[in-house]
Amino acid sequence: MNTTNVQVFLANNTFDCCLSLWFIRFLKTSPQFVPDVSLLTCATPLSFTGKLLIKLNPDDMNCGSDIPSKSWLTIGRIIGIAIRSACLLILSVAMVYIYNRRYPSRSGYIPISEHDDLYSNPNALFSERLKIPIREDDDDQLLTHHDFGSRRSLAQSDVLTQATTEGIYATDGSVAGDSHIQEAILISRSD
- From the number of C-beta atoms within 10 Å of its C-beta (0-12, 13-18, 19+), residue 181 rates as exposed
Residue 172: phi, psi to the nearest 5? -120, 115
Three-class DSSP category at 62: coil
Q: Do you know the residue count of the chain?
A: 191
The pLDDT value given to residue 150: 40
Any residues with CB less than 8 A from the CB of 170 and at least 6 apart, and which?
Answer: 142, 157, 159, 160, 161, 184, 185, 187
Burial string for 58-90 (b: 16+ CB within 10 Å, else e) reads beebeeeebeeeeeeeeeeeeeeeeeeeeeeee
Report d(CA 119, CA 129) in Å as an integer: 13
pLDDT for res 182: 52
> What is the per-residue pLDDT for 85?
97
**DSSP β-bridge partners for residue 173:** 182
Asked whether 169 and 184 are in contact (CB, 8 A), the reply is yes
What is the pLDDT at residue 83?
97
Residue 80 has a pLDDT of: 92
Write phi, then psi, for 94 (nearest 5 degrees).
-65, -40
pLDDT of the chain along its 191 residues, tens only?
676 778 888 888 888 888 888 888 988 888 888 888 888 888 888 888 888 888 888 888 887 754 555 666 678 889 999 999 999 999 999 999 988 887 766 656 666 665 555 555 555 555 555 455 555 555 455 445 444 444 444 444 555 566 666 666 566 555 444 544 455 555 665 55
How, if at all, do strands 179-188 and 167-176 pair? antiparallel
Find all residues with CB under 8 Å of 108, minimum gap 6, and list them.
Answer: none
Domain ranges of the chain: 1-63, 70-104, 121-188
pLDDT in the model for residue 31: 83
The answer for residues whose C-beta is within 8 angstroms of residue 36's C-beta and 6 or more apart is 9, 10, 11
What pLDDT score was predicted for residue 146?
A: 43
First-residue to last-residue Cα distance in the chain:
117
* Edge-to-edge strand list for the sheet holding 167-176: 160-163, 167-176, 179-188
